[in-house]
Amino acid sequence: MRILILTRKRMLTVLCCLLCGVLAVFLAFQGIAALTASSSKRLIPIYCVKTNEKKVAISFDAAWGNEQTQTLIDILNKYHVKTTFFVVGAWVDKYPESVKALTDAGHEVCNHSDTHPHMPKLSRGDMAAQITNCNEKLKKAAGKSPILFRPPYGDYDNALMETVKSVNMYCIQWDVDSLDWKNPAPDAIVKRVMSQVKPGSIVLFHNGAKNTPTALPSVIEALQSQGYQIVPVSQLIYKDHYTIDSSGMQVPDGNASN
């Protein structure tokens, strides 16, 4: 039988090896924890903007009907207001003349996907195709590709956020929902919007909602009487030097620009 005699030197060597092993395991776990925390951090779209200026954006989603689009254009023209329409690629296919009418009237026409799916249910490749296909249709119909994307149903996840960023676009939500798609009375729409709006808000309407054309003039008049400037979404958000807080508010730093 071989007997191992531990000298002081050998004991120190063994202890050093053990300590190094423990440290290596600790660092490995720390690295895994950091990676997990980083990968699990929820990415958030822009819901509103932090600003001291009394500026808001009005936006419309267009996915199906088109009966009221020209009426909305006429109302907005009457008040000299420019807004943002988020349109689906399939809608562009059906109503290219309306895309041109919106663009000619000075409104920005932006991406609402190609076929209005629940984006998080798609692969990253299919997400990218939904965005790029709509962009191509808008470029053909409106003459340029948009920089803004609004997910259908407001449905998003980190994979979608990363996909939107990869094509150099901004993901846009809203902080004031008119709920016009539920067809409330026009007065209820006005009351809901005006009770929630604040500087930097993004208001959501739909181009096909029954009572929106009746409510819209009162919303515009109320906003303007309170000193608000109504601008397209791209003129409200910051393009760089910003963070997005847990509520979805885009917060600029000292070098941010619209």
Instruction: Provide the β-strand partners of residue 179.
Output: none
In a domain, 19, yes or no: no
The one catalytic residue among 61, 114, 175, 180: 61
Residue 200, domain extent: 48-257
- Separation of alpha carbons 123 and 110, rounded Å: 22
Q: State the pLDDT at residue 224.
A: 98
CATH at 125: 3.20.20.370
In a domain, 13, yes or no: no
pLDDT digits (tens, 9 = 90+) for 194-247: 999 999 999 999 999 999 999 999 999 999 999 999 999 999 999 999 999 999
Active site residue 116: no
In a domain, 18, yes or no: no
In a domain, 32, yes or no: no
At 8, the pLDDT band (50, 70, 90 cuts) reads low
- Residue type at position 209: A
Give the alpha-carbon dihedral of 220, 170, 248, 112, to 10 degrees: 60
In a domain, 76, yes or no: yes
In a domain, 217, yes or no: yes
Active site residue 61: yes
The one catalytic residue among 116, 118, 206, 241: 206
pLDDT digits (tens, 9 = 90+) for 103-144: 999 999 999 999 999 999 999 999 999 999 999 999 999 999
Where do the DSSP E strands lie in 64-137?
84-87, 108-111
- Percent of the chain topping pLDDT 90: 82
- Residue type at position 157: D
Q: State the pLDDT at residue 13.
A: 52
- Within 197-255, residue ranges assigned H as helices are 212-225, 233-236
In a domain, 16, yes or no: no
Q: What is the pTM of this model?
A: 0.84
With 60 as the cut, is the pLDDT of residue 37 above it? no
- Percent of the chain topping pLDDT 70: 84
In a domain, 9, yes or no: no
Of 26 and 198, the one with more pLDDT: 198
Q: How many domains does the chain have?
A: 1
